[in-house]
Structure 1
Amino acid sequence: MNDTTLITELRKVTGKVWDQAELAGRDPGFDQRNFGASALVRPADIAEVVALVGFCAAHGLSLVAQGGRTGLTGAASTVPGQIICDLGAMNRVEEIDPLARVAIVQAGTPLSTLQEAALAQGLDPGIDLAARGSCTIGGMVSTNAGGIMAFRNGTMRHRVLGLEAVLPDGSVFSDLTRVLKTSAGYDLKHLFIGAEGTLGIVTRVALRLDPVAGASATALVGVPAAASAQRIVRHFLGSTGASLRAAEILWHRFAIAMNRMLGFAPGQLPLDAPCLLVLELGADSIEGATSALEDGLAAIWEEAGIIDGLVASSQAQASTIWRLREETEMIERMHHLPPSFDVSVPGGDIDAYVARIEAGLKRIDASYAPYVFGHLADGNLHISINTDGPVSHALHEAIEDVLYADLRESGGSFSAEHGVGIEKRDAYERYADPVKQAMARAIKGVIDPSNMLNPGKVISSE
């Protein structure tokens, strides 16, 4: 079928279809490869998703589901001959039950939309990402998103009570369970969480909600090492006066680079420490949160070896501190497509891990000095190499060998929250447990024997 005929036939499935020429003028999101497909279809509801899946199955076409296109591992990338299933029109918060603290949300709903709807009921999804304005609930489910609150509330896998998904044969997996306790055989919804759209297209989700703190306070604290920051985190986790909402760590090199790229004035933030800790506490009032933060830091100051600290005195100052952590695209501007990585390291190993990778990277190239930052309380570190990329395949593997060595054996992971996609598929094959890989291929073969949904992602198409 030629492209003209394809578009004509697709428009019989739904009127919302863009051809390749129209896609060329649209924003592809974080990855330029997202709009490589022959066409994009935007279903209005699950019936149109089912019809689109049936159309692709009948014509031997592969189908790639897309949400906010904020992924960093190429999980939503496409090539000519493929069709995109864009879930952006399925973007409603269908229901919020304030008593049960449950939301029923369509897959194309941006996280910020759910946050706003939940906040009106004094509730929160319990998960937050810097890309909150564009990332969608379906995409977050499909990549098992984590974010800054995972240490307290878990990843998306821990927030999902139930979900609905369209399978490759057009049938609908419907398990919109609204309760936490269910012990009724295999909990199959977990097959779709983190599967990156390779087993089914998630269309609706039932999510847990949490009571939201009335106010928050933010601080930037300078410490000599991650271990010192962890002492501070442990102290605040044991506090009864306020709840720890975020604990983000920035190594000095990253903080200085961000400060320069953001154009902050010298001395605007206290950055003269080997590590910087961003803390956010929630309480019933701003005064209560600020007082708890100030008193807590004073109590742990000497024990943790705190070098310097700043408790934000205004929302504007708090936003400045968070910009230092969240606007990480500044590193991308400094270096063209720098190799970036996303690992989980067991808490007690963080300082030793960072020291080890810095030494290992210098053995590859004496100029390598990585930017390191991440979610301290759950051990998730983000690492960008200070070189213009992309690097050669052999060099990329050498860098991976430094960063991923012994992670699985120590209980960590080579991919913490960004998924596998195509960027980390080689690493998956080299570092993931072989039995786990075999089981994944078997499950894919049973649910999607024709390899129609997002082929080549996570596991090899071969």
Structure 2
Amino acid sequence: MLTKLTGALRTALGCAHVRSGADVQAMDVGWHPDNLGAGLVALPANTAEVAEVVRLCREHGVAIVPQGGRTGLVGGSISHVGEVIVSLARMSHIECLDAVSRIAVVQGGVTLESLQGAAAAEGLEPGIDIPSRGSATIAGMVSTNAGGIMAFRNGVMRHRVLGLEAVLADGSVYSDLTRVVKNSAGYDLKHLFIGAEGSLGLVTRVVLKLDPLPQASATALLGLPSVQAALETIRWAMSIETGHLRAAEAMWQRFIQLTAKAQHWSEPGMALDQPIFLLMSLGGAHEQPLRDAFETLFGQVLEHYPDATGIIASSARQERDLWRLREDTDALYRVHPAAPSYDVSVPLSSLADYLDKVLAGLARIDSALQPYVFGHLADGNLHIILSRAGALAPDMAARVESVLYGTLQALGGSFSAEHGVGSKRIGAMFDTLDPGKLATMKTIKNMLDPDRLMNPGKVLPAS
């Protein structure tokens, strides 16, 4: 069956655009070692070709695994023998960048970094940023409802998408390339595909709203005595009259000490001995007033927390060095390969108490776990990575998830802030979500993909 399908795909796309064997093995596998497990990759060039690939796969009863930059952390793009990977690598064209309307129309394979560069040339930006910007694709970010650094200010991907196009499981095309913010014309069905991880359809084109890009920026790193101190500092920073707060990233002591060592970073007078470090960015018209605003903010912090420490970047190089401390998460995985990682959202008013209970609960399970904690503090998104190489034993994994997820639903938080469900978090989803929501998700899946051909085993069980 797969041999016949491979021939049909090569006829439809051209032999060079259907890879198998050694050609697949030569590809970058991305974050998960099983991403290329299917061993067969189709690379369509446009929506019509994607639709033809889906139609052929349905005709042969073969499942489809959509892939973008393969940067996902929860196994959302893993594949198996007998499936077909549909890569949007060739669909990397920015079709329209309208500086007047402040929108971009892009193919799904465009990387975030490419869009950022094109938008910056017009004095604009996508309003969303993640460390994997160089490889993460727009369709992948839509499909996982990516969040990132500026979500507290601009929202997550769901709030940036004005319209999209997607190929459904029957090969038909859903097209709603709306370019305006105000649109009350019936059901807003694009939201079915945002965060669905390719399980309801394959996103091929997207309309994104853009924001003005600040002409200048300033960056500061503060060492603070507590989560409460960091949250209060963020609240003060959001009231700064000069410029606006663009990022507020938290790094707990163990995390920043590890990345600083990996980066060979040190700064006189900035010992990394505080419980929590807050990396902030301001954007505005001129650089010096932004630095002055940080000086004033630091003075305000010292009035309330005299032992706080801080540094304000004095050059673009120093600014980049500070951001590398936060974004070099690979340093952690070099020390603890395949370390178990978790991605939760907690309401800010509950965050300090939640984290205290989590750390105590993990210590009771195994004092050697000693998690690394960092994340997007302004929106309550914490990344918690255990100091353990490889997957946990099933019984320990269940105990860890009980500690991390046990109170989240009651608090109004989420077990998956921005990484998605994939294949890794299905159990957590069924343990924590409302049964009515789960039943509705199953109903929608059965209607749009009754044969379970679209990314099976992701978000919902394969059967």
Q: Compute the TM-score of the two structures, normalised by the length of structure 2.
A: 0.97
Could you say which residue in structure 1 is the equivalent of 2:351?
A: 350
What amino acid is aligned across from residue 41 of structure 2 in structure 1? L
Encode CA deviations 1:215-260: one digit per residue, 9 max, x unaligned. Answer: 1111110111111111111112112211101000011111112212
How many residues are matched? 461
> Residue 143 of structure 2 aligns with which residue?
142
Aligned to 1:32, the other structure's residue is in SS state coil
Residue by residue, what CA displacement relative to the aligned partner does 1:403-453 show, whole Å, maximum 9, x if unpaired? 111101101000000000001111111111111111001000000111110
- Distance in 2 (alpha carbons) for counterparts of 1:31 and 1:24: 14
Residue type at the aligned position of 2:8: E
CA separation in 1, counterparts of 2:306 and 2:411? 28
CA distance in structure 2 between the partners assigned to 1:115 and 1:145 by the alignment = 15
Match of 2:33 in 1: 32
Alpha-carbon deviation of 1:387? 1.2
Match of 1:414 in 2: 415
Question: Which residue matches 1:9?
Answer: 8
Corresponding position of 1:337: 338
Match of 2:457 in 1: 456
Matching residue of 2:390 = 389
How far residue 306 of structure 1 moved from its aligned partner, in angstroms, is 5.7
Is 1:425 the counterpart of 2:414? The answer is no
Quick check: 1:374–1:381 contact (8 Å CA) kept in 2?
Answer: yes
Letter in 1 for 2:243: A
Judge conservation of contact 1:231–1:304 (CA < 8 Å) in 2. Answer: no
What does residue 403 of structure 1 align with? 404
- List 4+ stretches of structure 1 deviating above 3 A: 265-270
Whole-Å separation in 1 of the counterparts to 2:268 and 2:360? 30
Partner of 1:178: 179
Residue 126 of structure 1 aligns to a residue whose secondary structure is coil
- For 1:238 and 1:307, locate their aligned partners in 2 and report how far apart those are by CA, in whole Å: 20
CA shift, 1:139, in A, is 0.2
Give the % identical residues: 48
The answer for the alignment partner of 2:369 in structure 1 is: 368
Taking a change above 3 Å as real, the CA distance of residues 193 and 47 of structure 1, as seen in their structure-2 partners, is same
The one-letter code matched in structure 2 to 1:223 is L
- Structure-1 separation of matches of 2:58 and 2:289: 58
Cα displacement (A) at 1:335: 0.8
Look up the match of 1:207: 208
Whether contact under 8 Å (1:221, 1:306) holds in the other structure is no
User: What's 1:359 paired with?
Assistant: 360
Tell me which moved more, 145-154 or 96-105.
96-105
Match of 2:62 in 1: 61
- The answer for the alignment partner of 1:299 in structure 2 is 300
Provide the TM-score with structure 1 as the length reference.
Answer: 0.97
After TM superposition, the structure 1 = structure 2 runs for residues 93-132 of structure 1, keeping only pairs within 5 Å, are 93-132=94-133
Q: Look up the SS of the partner of 1:33 in the other structure.
A: coil
Q: CA deviation at 1:360?
A: 0.4
> Which residue identity is paired with 1:297?
F
CA contact (8 A) 1:14 1:43 kept: yes
Q: Equivalents in 2 of 1:281, 1:102: separation in Å?
A: 24
1:78 aligns with 2:79: yes
Matches within 5 A, 1:249-328: 249-265=250-266, 267=268, 269-304=270-305, 307-328=308-329
**Distance in 2 (alpha carbons) for counterparts of 1:99 and 1:283:** 21
| Residues 130-162 of structure 1 deviation map (CA, whole Å, 9 limit, x = unaligned) | 000100000000000000000000000000011
**Contact 1:227/1:348 (CA < 8 Å) preserved in 2?**
no
2:35 is paired with a residue whose SS is helix
When structure 1 is superposed on structure 2, of 142-151 and 10-19 the one drifting more is 10-19
Deviation at 1:263, TM superposition (A): 2.5
SS at match of 1:337: coil
1:64 match: secondary structure: strand
- Distance in 1 (CA, whole Å) between partners of 2:445 and 2:226 is 43
- Partner AA of 1:9 in structure 2: A
Does the C-alpha gap of structure 1 residues 311 and 8 become closer, same or farther in structure 2, counting only changes over 3 Å?
same
Would the aligned equivalents of 2:54 and 2:170 in 1 still touch at CA under 8 Å? yes
CA contact 1:74–1:423 (8 Å) conserved in 2: yes
Shift of 1:262: 2.4
Q: Secondary structure at the match of 1:297?
A: helix
Deviation at 1:296, TM superposition (A): 2.3
Say which SS state the counterpart of residue 223 (structure 2) adopts.
strand
Partner letter of residue 9 of structure 2? L
Give RMSD over aligned pairs.
1.3
Match of 1:379 in 2: 380
Note the residue ranges of structure 1 that are not aligned, 5 or more in a row: none
Q: Which amino acid aligns with 1:409?
A: A
Question: For each residue in 1:144-189, what CA deviation from the matched residue of structure 2 results, as whole angstroms up to 9, or x when unmatched?
Answer: 0000000000000000011000111111111111111111221100
